[in-house]
Amino acid sequence: MKKYFVQYKPFLLFLASFFGCYILLTVGYQYFLNSFGDRNVDSITQVVAHNAEKIISWFFMRVQVESVINEPFVRMYFQNKYIIRIVEGCNGISVVILFISFIVAFSGSLKNTLLFVFGGSLIIYILNVFRIAVLTILLYYYPEYSHILHGVFFPLIIYGLVFILWFIWVNKFSKYAK
């Protein structure tokens, strides 16, 4: 049995660090979410919604974000029509947690790891805000495609980006790149 632990040590260390980091970040995030209660929207989701609102307003389109007390989501109105609700799962934090856990599991130098975690998380956040803004506009004009847009196309984009960032990390910066 010891032979197998020695043989698979890198894989076992990867699993332990990935799941350890993932669980730690998820528990911390859940603690943060619990501070808002079940009936109110968290501050990160509100910031994401307001940033998406800003992006849409750059194009001189009528857009409004509304948070209502005792609703765990933010309403997004486009051209004076209620289009989407932005819930906690839309803010991208769970994707960032997954991204960070993988980077930590394949860590490199502390400096490279911290810079890549920060830079990658920022890229994911920005893409997610743009995703919400574009999705709002597309659902206004093409509501019949809501399932394919929200359920297939945009998750493909966000998780595709995460995969590309992981690929870059493993091949250029992790301790396994050499």
Cα-to-chain-centroid distance, residue 145? 23
Report the pLDDT value the prediction gives residue 32, as an integer from 0 to 100: 92
DSSP labels for 78-145? Answer: ETTEEEEEEEGGGGSHHHHHHHHHHHHHT---HHHHHHHHHHHHHHHHHHHHHHHHHHHHHHHH-GGG
List the 81-87 sheet strands across, edge first.
63-67, 73-78, 81-87
Give yes or no for residue 132 having a pLDDT over 90.
yes
Report the pLDDT value the prediction gives residue 1, as an integer from 0 to 100: 74
Give yes or no for residue 174 having a pLDDT over 90.
no
Report the pLDDT value the prediction gives residue 114, as an integer from 0 to 100: 94
Question: Rounded distance, CA 14 to CA 17, Å?
Answer: 5
Q: What rounded mean pLDDT belongs to the chain?
A: 90
Report the pLDDT value the prediction gives residue 67, as an integer from 0 to 100: 86
What amino acid is encoded at 19 in this protein? F
* Stretch 140-151: mean pLDDT: 92
Report the pLDDT value the prediction gives residue 76, as an integer from 0 to 100: 93
DSSP labels for 146-159? Answer: HHHIIIIIHHHHHH
Report the pLDDT value the prediction gives residue 178, as an integer from 0 to 100: 62
Quick count: other Cβ atoms within 10 Å of Cβ 152? 11
pLDDT category, 107, cuts 50, 70, 90? confident
More confident residue, 36 or 23: 23
- List the one residue out of 94, 98, 111, 112 whose CA is nearest residue 170: 112
Quick count: other Cβ atoms within 10 Å of Cβ 129? 21
For 35-86, the pLDDT digits (tens) are 887 778 888 999 999 999 999 999 877 899 988 888 888 999 999 999 999 9
Report the pLDDT value the prediction gives residue 115, as an integer from 0 to 100: 94
Report the pLDDT value the prediction gives residue 94, as an integer from 0 to 100: 94
User: What is the residue whose two structure tokens read 């999705």?
Assistant: 135
Give yes or no for residue 144 having a pLDDT over 70.
yes
For 94-103, the pLDDT digits (tens) are 999 999 999 9
